[in-house]
Amino acid sequence: MYALNPAYPTIFKPLDLAGQQIENRILMGSMHTGLEDRFWNYGKLAAYFAERAKGVGPGLIITGGISPNRAGWLAPFGGTMNWPTDVLNHRRVTKAVHKEGGKICMQILHAGRYGYHPFSVSATDIQAPINRFTPKALTEEGIEDQIKAYVRSAKLAQKAGYDGVEIMGSEGYFINQFLCLRTNKRADSWGGSFENRSRLPIEIVRRTREAVGDGFIIVYRLSMMDLVEEGSTWEEVVALGQAVEVAGASIINTGIGWHEARIPTIVTSVPHAAFAGVSRKLREQVTIPVIATNRVNSPEQAERLLSEGYCDMVSMARPFLADPQFMQKAAAQKSNEINTCIACNQACLDHIFKGKKSSCLVNPRACSETTLNYKPTANSKTVAVVGAGPAGLSAATTAAERGHKVTLFEAAPEIGGQFNIAMAIPGKEDFAETLRYYQAMLEKHKVNLALDQNVSAEFLREQGFDHVVIATGVKPRAVDIPGHNHPSVLRYDEVVRERKPVGKRVAIIGAGGIGFDLAEFLLGNEPTNAEDHLEHWYREWGIDPSYSSRGGLIEPQVSTPVREITLMQRKPAPLGKGLGKTSGWVHRLQLRKHNVEMLGGVQYRLIDDQGLHISQDGEERLIEVDNVVICAGQVSVNSLYQSLNPYGKSKQVHLIGGAYLAAEVDAKRAIKEGCELAARL
Ligand code: FAD
Ligand code: NAP
Ligand code: SF4
């Protein structure tokens, strides 16, 4: 028991749920990993959860969504719990978690019209804007079958050893589709009045409680703010919360926004704990505990929410992908050693949406616990790592953790490489946490850090290291457009890092991730104070924190940007197509809302005193601007490697990250390559 932890006294207070003692107030929220969909991956899934339950783990873990039947699948052959044989797979998970002293609930998720397959069903046959399949409208008999499937699934989960179930009633899935007028146009006793529309979740909770008895936890995930038109009113949310309490729920979890909502709810630019206020409002209306969610990623934030009465538990999901020892470090008051989730979605949700196994940008071991291991070495070697960007940092700290003697050389006066530029972009402030984490790891694993050292091949040869890892990264690509030396032309690093002055009218050449980031940076309309920032963010996205209208929506009030911006690329494709699946739309919408002109199929002709001359669709055009910012990708910095290993044959000289391949290098690949190499040394 950790009730006396002076740093986080509320986090470590136990909680009683359905007669079971939950050791602390942190819930590891449900996350689809992709491992739950195939029976042969359940061993890996068990290892993944066990690693998170080990020692001081979250008080309660929720699995990824498991469908109660075929109609409820998210995707064909998704993880289900509807046959006794399914119990055998899940028992591997519950046994592994219980062995480590943890508690785990299975989430029952029926996708309804979000099911990406031809067997999907819903209240009404209205296709979701994010799915190409149209669901079949259920008959009353069909509805009965779905309820029975939930109950059967919960009973099987109990048989498999789970401590409870979470009934997924939010994010626009099946239950939400019955609750809201948006998707429920039925005229029978399951549609029309709120009483009819809310019958489905209430029946599911009531009959589940009847079937599983009193000592089994039922978490009900309630959509507290739908963020879509014709979503629930606040009065309906309260009525539902009170009804599921009476029906037998042990605790209510918060769900925010349907997947089809065009308001971001979890990406990096969403302010921390932006939606906790709505959990607090509901907590005042029910007597069972309430869980707050969304964009909480540190013990400090969780402690604040708990101690200020926003909630009884805090759910964090992705932070446990990023650091399986999150709770252990919090308990030991070493939160500076936590590898913080930066909410990029690049290796977790974006992977899932591409049908790939989930992982984590800052922790490539996530979901590869059985294959990527950093075992202590029996043969400690001297290792030089050159370059302290994400690739070099991950290689150096992992090699040192394994027991090698590592020196990390960095030409700049600080660590971080390009991440120092990334973290200066509005909405990417959390990226600084990754560098804080690496700084702590360098100290913990006693890496000899040599800053301001632009090392040469001769120096490295003289030192006689057993291994040399070249992680010298990238530099911005220069363009050969006539007039590229004009004084109005700036590189992105000059704008962001060196803060060179930029005029009111700007053209950005290159519309990759960095071009988009630069456009957001140059909008220049973000307040700096945290409270003003949250209010500003609500207004910009049209969120009504006072909840006076359906779905929590109001008319957005978009602020005027400081600059007029034109963003361009040569490809004729729509701009931003290559951005992340789950975050790209936010960037595109953000720029559209602020009148950023986006041009594809452009040819750059000349930069002169008038501005940028281009041609597009055979038409010549002058874009009158004060500055042209170049974001035309990067090239590798790898001359050191070529000097040390000209034929690429040496097994002692290694090349990783952007220095290895600049095309499409991102921090996900850079960190993964660093960790994988260090695991092999
Ligand atoms: P770098 O970060 O370039 O680091 C290389 C380091 O080596 C530098 O610190 C350099 O000083 C040092 N060095 C070079 N030569 C020597 C030498 N001879 N001796 C000693 N030291 C040397 N990626 C994402 O995944 N997601 C994002 O959202 C994202 N956003 C970004 C936003 C911006 C504005 C920018 C600029 C980049 C962004 N990136 C993002 C890209 C990401 O930062 C890079 O892909 C990543 O930093 C590459 O890592 P690296 O270690 O290979 O190289
Ligand atoms: P990028 O995504 O490759 O984009 C480079 C841009 O420059 C493209 O728009 C390209 O479009 C243009 N370009 C290339 N060569 C050019 C030339 N010679 N002249 C003019 N234009 C040229 O690279 P990046 O934007 O520099 O990003 C680097 C990495 O960081 C990427 O891997 C990216 O994923 C990552 N990143 C990710 C995010 C994120 O939010 N996930 C944010 C920032 C960066 P055309 O060739 O069509 O002109
Ligand atoms: Fe967080 Fe990004 Fe890792 Fe996902 S990939 S868990 S969002 S840091």
Q: Write the CB contacts of 566 (distance below 8 Å, at least 6 apart in sequence).
A: 506, 507, 508, 596, 597, 598, 599, 623, 625
CATH code for the domain in which residue 658 is found: 3.40.50.720
356: number of Cβ within 10 Å: 11
Q: Is 249 in the pocket of ligand 2 (CB under 6 A)?
A: no
Structure tokens at 338: 């936590």
Q: Specify whether 603 is located in the same domain as 674.
A: no
Nearest to 134 by CA among 154, 155, 113, 159: 113
The finding on whether 580 has its CB within 6 A of some atom of ligand 2 is: yes
Is 150 in the active site? no
pLDDT digits (tens, 9 = 90+) for 449-469: 999 999 999 999 999 999 999
- Helices (runs of H) and strands (runs of E) counted in the chain: 22, 27
- For 14-55, write each residue's pLDDT tens digit: 999 999 999 999 999 999 999 999 899 999 999 999 999 999
Tell me: do 390 and 259 sit in the same domain. no
Please, which pLDDT band fits residue 5 given cuts at 50, 70 and 90?
low
Residues 448 and 519 in one domain: no
The finding on whether 632 has its CB within 6 A of some atom of ligand 2 is: yes
Is 93 part of a structural domain of the chain? yes
**Ligand nearest to the backbone CA of 350:** 3
Measured in Å, residue 509 CA sits from the centre of ligand 2 at 10
Going from the C-alpha of 669 to that of each of 123, 242, 390, 398, 673, the distances in angstroms are: 43, 47, 9, 15, 6
Residue 31 covered by a domain:
yes
Query: What is the pLDDT at residue 533?
Result: 87
Determine phi and psi for 599, rounding to 5 degrees: -120, 125
Which ligand is in closest contact with the Cα of 579?
2
Q: In which domain, by residue range, is 502 found?
A: 489-525+560-632
Residue 71: inside a domain: yes
Percent of the chain with pLDDT over 90: 94
Of 592, 575, 567, 563, which Cα lies nearest the Cα of 509?
A: 567
Q: Answer yes or no: is the C-beta of 570 below 6 A from any ligand 2 atom.
A: yes
| CB 106, CB 162: distance < 8 Å | yes
Q: How far apart are CA 461 and CA 653, in angstroms?
A: 11
Ligand 1 centroid to Cα of residue 422, in Å, is 9
Same domain, 446 and 520: no
Would you state the pLDDT for residue 1? 38
Query: Structure tokens of 190?
Result: 């399951």
Q: Is 674 a residue whose pLDDT tops 90?
A: yes
Count: domains in the chain? 3
CA-nearest residue for atom 26, ligand 2, is 633
Mean pLDDT of 99-123: 97
8 Å CB contact between 289 and 251 = yes
Q: Whose C-alpha lies nearest to ligand 2, atom 36? A: 513
Q: Is the per-residue pLDDT at 415 higher than 90?
A: yes
Is ligand 3 within 6 A of the CB of residue 32? no
Which residues are CB-contacts of 302 (< 8 A; sequence separation ≥ 6)?
A: 8, 11, 25, 26, 296, 314, 316
d(CA 407, CA 387): 11
In a domain, 316, yes or no: no
Q: Are 555 and 492 in contact (CB under 8 A)?
A: no
Spatial contact of 91 and 161, defined as CB atoms under 8 Å apart: yes
| Ligand having the closest approach to the CA of 568 | 2
The residue-averaged pLDDT of 604-615 equals 97
User: Residue 532 domain-assigned?
Assistant: no
Determine which one of 8, 150, 173, 660 is catalytic. Answer: 173
**pLDDT of amino acid 7:** 81
Domain check: are 580 and 445 in the same one? no
Domain assignment present for 25: yes
Strands 467-470 and 382-386 turn out to be parallel
What CATH number is associated with residue 499? 3.50.50.60
Same domain, 235 and 264: yes
Statement to judge: residues 236 and 108 lie in one domain: yes
CB of 347 closer than 6 A to ligand 3?
A: yes
70 lies in the same domain as 143: yes
On whether both 177 and 225 belong to a single domain, the answer is: yes
Q: Ligand 2 in contact with 58 (CB < 6 A)? A: no
Domain match, 435 and 506 both: no
Residue bearing tokens 């035309």: 632
Look up the CATH number of the domain holding residue 202. 3.20.20.70
Per-residue pLDDT band for 648 (boundaries 50, 70, 90) equals confident
Q: How confident is the model at residue 532 (pLDDT cuts 50, 70, 90)?
A: confident
Mutate which of 344, 367, 671 for ligand 3? The one with the most ligand atoms within 8 Å of its CB, which is 344
Same domain, 283 and 404: no
The pLDDT value given to residue 2: 39
Q: Residue 3: pLDDT band by 50, 70, 90 thresholds?
A: very low
Residue 366 lies in a domain: no
**Backbone phi, then psi, for 203, in 5-degree steps?**
-65, -40
pLDDT band for position 525 (50/70/90)? Answer: confident
Both 164 and 23 in a single domain? yes
What is the rounded CA–CA span in Å between residue 272 and residue 289? 22
Q: CB of 318 within 8 A of CB of 348?
A: yes
Quote the tokens at residue 229: 């038109």
Average pLDDT of the residues of the chain: 95
Residue 539 is assigned to a structural domain of this protein: no
